[in-house]
Structure 1
């Protein structure tokens, strides 16, 4: 993991080592061993820049996710009391998009594209 982070996220690794371990990466191999640095890199906390770069869901903290749920709930309550909600086929508001999630519109577009490609491929099967 240390080697990969040194190659892909050197600035984040440097900042994380300084912030979380109070170690300067320039001291690796001199002040502390490479094995020690590798163990530290593998165990960086979820709040670290390196962890967030690896996993989009970590872009937000627990508070952000909780606030998004509150906003989603308030928007749903407001919508449910509106005239729009009483109409047949009314759609509730979409929840706030979380890091790492695709919007419903993008998911639908991707599914539509897949269906279109499948139809084209099936048409070509009959031509053989």
Structure 2
């Protein structure tokens, strides 16, 4: 079966599934462009146009807020503020007796998509596997 240059199979089906699940958010985002879902399939809004719009929506779009609610609340400023706060807490801790002994280090502020230090600590088996992978156990 011949395909147009750059076309991927299932494009319309994928969009249709997305529309079934998140039509209200997509409609809201389209309104910003002066479009409506009811225009889909016309010269005003073809399926390729909808695909391009959905694929390149800004990070603060309604669709991305619905799909990734936790991550969408964190913008660059929030990440930078969390980094500054973590740094200040670490500096204050470093001047304490615990800091000089290297214990009870403060937990960083939880960020979306990032595991806490306690969740990141690996077991000896995981460390051995990583050392094998890196070739350090040879």
TM-score (norm 1): 0.66
Higher relative contact order (CA 8 A, sep 6+): 1
The partner residue of 2:61 within 48, 61, 65 is 48
Higher helix share: 1
Gaps of 5+ in 1: 116-128
- How many residues align? The count is 110
Q: How does 1:82-121 map to 2 (within 5 A)?
A: 82-86=96-100, 88-108=101-121
2:36 corresponding residue in structure 1: 24
Kindly indicate whether residue 22 of structure 2 is the aligned counterpart of residue 9 of structure 1: yes
Contact 2:35 2:45 in 1 (8 A): no
What is the rounded CA distance, in whole Å, between the counterparts of 2:77 and 2:61 in structure 1?
Answer: 16
Contact 1:17 1:24 in 2 (8 A): yes
What is the rounded CA distance, in whole Å, between the counterparts of 1:105 and 1:10 in structure 2?
Answer: 39
Gaps of 5+ in 2: 1-13, 127-138
Secondary structure, aligned partner of 1:4: helix
What is the rounded CA distance, in whole Å, between the counterparts of 1:83 and 1:4 in structure 2?
Answer: 57
TM-score (norm 2): 0.62
What is the rounded CA distance, in whole Å, between the counterparts of 1:41 and 1:67 in structure 2?
Answer: 30
